[in-house]
Amino acid sequence: MTPARIQVLVIVVLAVTEVVLGGGGKSVTLALERASHKGAELSQLRNHDLIRHGRILQQRPSGVIDLPVEGTYDPFFVGLYYTRVHLGSPPREFYVQIDTGSDALWVSCISCNGCPTSSGLKIQLEFFDPSTSSTASLISCSDQRCALGAESSDSVCSNQNQCGYKFKYGDGSGASGYYVSDLMHFDTIIGDSSTSNSSAPVVFGCSTSETGDLAKSERAVDGIFGFGQQGISVVSQLFSQGVAPNVFSHCLNGDNGGGGILVLGQIVEPNIVYTPLVPSQPHYNINLQSISVNGQELSIDPSVFATSTNQGTIVDSGTTLAYLAEEAYDPFVTAITQAVSPSVRPLVSNGSPCYLTTSSVSMAFPPVSLNFSGGALMILKPEGYLLQQNSIGGAAVWCIGFQKIQGSGITILGDLVLKNKIVVYDLSNQKIGWTDYDCSSSVNVSTTTDTGKTKFVNAGEIVNSSPTCNYYNPVPTTLVALLLHVLVFGIYTFL
């Protein structure tokens, strides 16, 4: 059922005023109008005021929001990256997976059916209870924000006029619940590198049912933080309130310690290359044009990568590995096998192409280049497309980390590819950029000053609370002016 939108309210005239135009002496009478609140629910009015008050109190440029990162891409350790968010009044902390392949933020709710109560990640799981937060309110089906949720899920409206959702995943798992509005608390970096505790109202999901892998304790977290482009995403909500810029960036550490950097803002690095986003797509689709192995472009028809209803290339941090369109997979594996050092022994392990080697993979395996529109190249070192499995007689077994989806033309760039790179999602300019980077080191971020003017600052390092102790150094915005959960059109989704 599609949520109903709020009907146009009765308009009442409060006053009139005269405006004198130029020197002609003529005047035009303009009606100063105000919408009537008749028929509006109290919760809607309160949330409207919260947003308005936030704008009034933040008569300054938007800042960079700093979020911690934990976890690792390696499926033998964790197999996902997650962050911590603070919701409600008083604020409570929730661990949520970082996922650019979905839109909504949701957490497990009180009295959840099937939600795990413990986690193999050794984190304390929490359950959100709207009744214990003084600033929480439910979203009704008539609320305009319910329509935003309908863009990203199967919208459900209960008999109690409560806006709900159902998320379905291709592995058989799912989550359902209802939408809530409450305060999100976060650290903001503004202008002169000072940090401040801030908050803003956001709409997020409160899951009352989880099934499949989401219900398992092995890698359980409290929910999922969607970083998609739809209006229900936290990035879109905070941008619409003037709290944060319409851009976010991450740098996922591929070392065993994991962690990394996540900011609602723009990381600045001179070597970042950008490619345009494919317009009017529900996910972060970019135009992959060709693949090169060891400097040689593979003979793959470019139409294999073209974006259509059942194919295209998607950037998704919620996917652990990476996936190639079926018609590109075999040429890719064949080219790597032909280019490896003579000392490398090819083999098949559990149906996957693998290699046995005693040499360093950086010396024994070729580089791979993913070539995108606009001339942007994503250079993959062997660790960017291989995954170490085990060892046999002192030799390491490395397998191709790219997988093939039978009968699908979808290419998915997951954490295997995205790790050890700065990745910038510039939504205002509809482009994605990246560069190789040591994600355990400091980064520069773009901010503005309180006056909106460019200001060079020699700021001290601002420590992120992630395990790898990352740092942020603000720089002026003018320096960056040029800078299994994917939904495959109702067929496949990846977590």
250 with 415: CB under 8 angstroms?
no
Extract the tokens encoding 391.
């060892």
Q: What amino acid occupies position 134?
A: S
Q: 423: which strand partners?
A: 250, 434
User: CA 450, CA 268: separation in Å to the nearest integer?
Assistant: 20
User: CA 431, CA 285: separation in Å to the nearest integer?
Assistant: 10
The separation between the first and the last C-alpha atoms of the chain, rounded to the nearest angstrom, is 25
Extract the tokens encoding 408.
């699908």
Marked catalytic residue, from 66, 99, 182, 426: 99
Marked catalytic residue, from 74, 182, 187, 316: 316
- Three-state DSSP at 19 gives strand
| Residue matched to tokens 């601002």 | 462
DSSP-derived secondary structure letter, 7: P
* Cα separations in angstroms, 112 against 126, 128, 184, 215: 11, 10, 21, 10
Dihedral angle over CA of 125, 89, 87, 67, nearest 10: -110
User: CA 484, CA 495: separation in Å to the nearest integer?
Assistant: 4
400 with 237: CB under 8 angstroms?
no
Extract the tokens encoding 319.
């996917």
Q: What amino acid occupies position 255?
A: D
User: CA 3, CA 140: separation in Å to the nearest integer?
Assistant: 9
- Three-state DSSP at 332 gives helix
User: CA 259, CA 77: separation in Å to the nearest integer?
Assistant: 12
User: CA 263, CA 475: separation in Å to the nearest integer?
Assistant: 14
Q: What amino acid occupies position 139?
A: I
99 a catalytic residue: yes
Extract the tokens encoding 318.
């919620």
| Residue matched to tokens 């505790």 | 197
Alpha helices (H) along 152-271:
234-240
Dihedral sign of CA atoms 406, 412, 414, 417 in order? positive
Residue positions annotated with a catalytic role: 99, 316
